[in-house]
Amino acid sequence: MSTAVAPERKPDSKPPDRTDIREARGLRRLAWRMWRERSAYLFIAPGMLIFSVFTLGALVFAAWLTFHRWSIIEPEKPFVGLQNYRDMVDDERFVQSVLNTIYFTGASVPITMFIGLCLALLLNQPLRGRALFRTAYYLPVVTPFVVSALLWKWLYNGDFGLFNYYLMKGHVIDEPLQWLSSQNLAMPSVVLMSIWSGVGFSMVIYLAGLQSVPYELYESAKLDGASTLQRIRHVTIPLLRPTTLFLLVIGIIGSLQVFTQIFVMTQGGPVNKTTTMVYYMYLWAFKYYDMGYASTLAFALFAMLLVFTAFQLRLFRDGDKA
């Protein structure tokens, strides 16, 4: 009687790995879920396509431009490696634009938030006609920036502007001030206009935050003998930390990208005293036609925004833990 002999196993053959089996099953399960929800993916496909082309695609292309001397009017667009980044570090006008942007941000954001908080505290009281005042303070926010900049440029005019007229009428000054032509007054003038335009937004956000503060906390503090300022310091401000963080992040991001006011009111002058990073980027892109260097400046701005935002989030997170 013959006995069946089992075939010999090849020395290099291995049993299937359980990890590979689980990964294969996971992929099949994922594919099945995607197929089951295919209608949802069809609905989001147009948005994803637009995002991929005009955001991700543009970002990748801008990164590629930073390594090229990419001029609009020249046919040759050579690869220059990190030369654009080296030029940026040695560019004195770029350094000046960074300092101008930091000056603008440091002056406009805190003042705008402080005035917005004061207005929110005032208009949160049961005053007569407070809805009208809220609307009036918020109107500059919905006014187009170009219109606001043109209006303030007219107010700042050295020959017939209302500011000089009333200051001379009140004998505050003896001769007209050149608000937008003076190296010392140009940037503060732009900052003042920006504060006027942004106070309404801070006021509305702080008003929304104040609505979420429990009234019982104010009553308890009042029973303990706390004054109005003490209630604001120890109750209102701590509970408005998330609102303050939101306004701070949004305000810094917007201020670091300031452009419209500069373009309409000063064109970066006088003597580059109001040239901000975005306006300097605009000059290289649409005046000097060097898209490679302009893209490099854009990535520098992105790095600044990333650092500032991460620092603020870390600062407030540590404050909450404390």
Q: Where are the domains of the chain?
A: 91-321
Residue 111, pLDDT score: 97
Report the interhelical angle of 130-142 vs 92-123 (nearest 10°).
160
Residue 207 banded pLDDT, cuts 50, 70, 90: very high
- pLDDT above 70: percentage of residues in the chain: 92
* Closest alpha carbon to 264 in 274, 255, 256: 274
Q: Is 70 exceeded by the pLDDT of residue 80?
A: yes
Residue 170, pLDDT score: 92
Query: How many whole angstroms separate alpha carbon 127 and alpha carbon 122?
Result: 9
Residue 121 neighbours by CB under 8 Å, 6+ apart: 206, 210, 232, 236
Residue 18 banded pLDDT, cuts 50, 70, 90: low
Q: Is 50 exceeded by the pLDDT of residue 306?
A: yes
Q: Is 80 exceeded by the pLDDT of residue 160?
A: yes
pLDDT tens-digit series, residues 209-232 = 998 888 888 888 888 888 888 888
Q: Is 80 exceeded by the pLDDT of residue 191?
A: yes
Query: How many whole angstroms separate alpha carbon 279 and alpha carbon 40?
Result: 42
Q: Is 50 exceeded by the pLDDT of residue 196?
A: yes
Q: Is 50 exceeded by the pLDDT of residue 2?
A: no
pLDDT tens-digit series, residues 105-130 = 999 999 999 999 999 999 998 888 88
Residue 110, pLDDT score: 96
Burial class (CB in 10 A: 0-12, 13-18, 19+), 31: exposed
Query: Which of 322 and 30 is assigned the larger pLDDT?
Result: 30
CA distances from 175 to 111, 162, 165, 189 (A): 29, 13, 10, 18
Residue 8 banded pLDDT, cuts 50, 70, 90: low
Q: Is 80 exceeded by the pLDDT of residue 140?
A: yes
* Closest alpha carbon to 232 in 254, 208, 213, 204: 213
Average pLDDT over residues 159-169: 92
CATH of 91-321 among 3.30.9.10, 1.10.3720.10, 1.10.10.10, 2.60.120.260: 1.10.3720.10
Place of tokens 């990190």: 82
pLDDT tens-digit series, residues 239-254 = 999 899 899 989 999 9
Mean pLDDT over all residues of the chain? 88
Query: How many whole angstroms separate alpha carbon 79 and alpha carbon 177?
Result: 49
Residue 16, pLDDT score: 55
Q: Is 50 exceeded by the pLDDT of residue 290?
A: yes
Average pLDDT over residues 61-69: 94
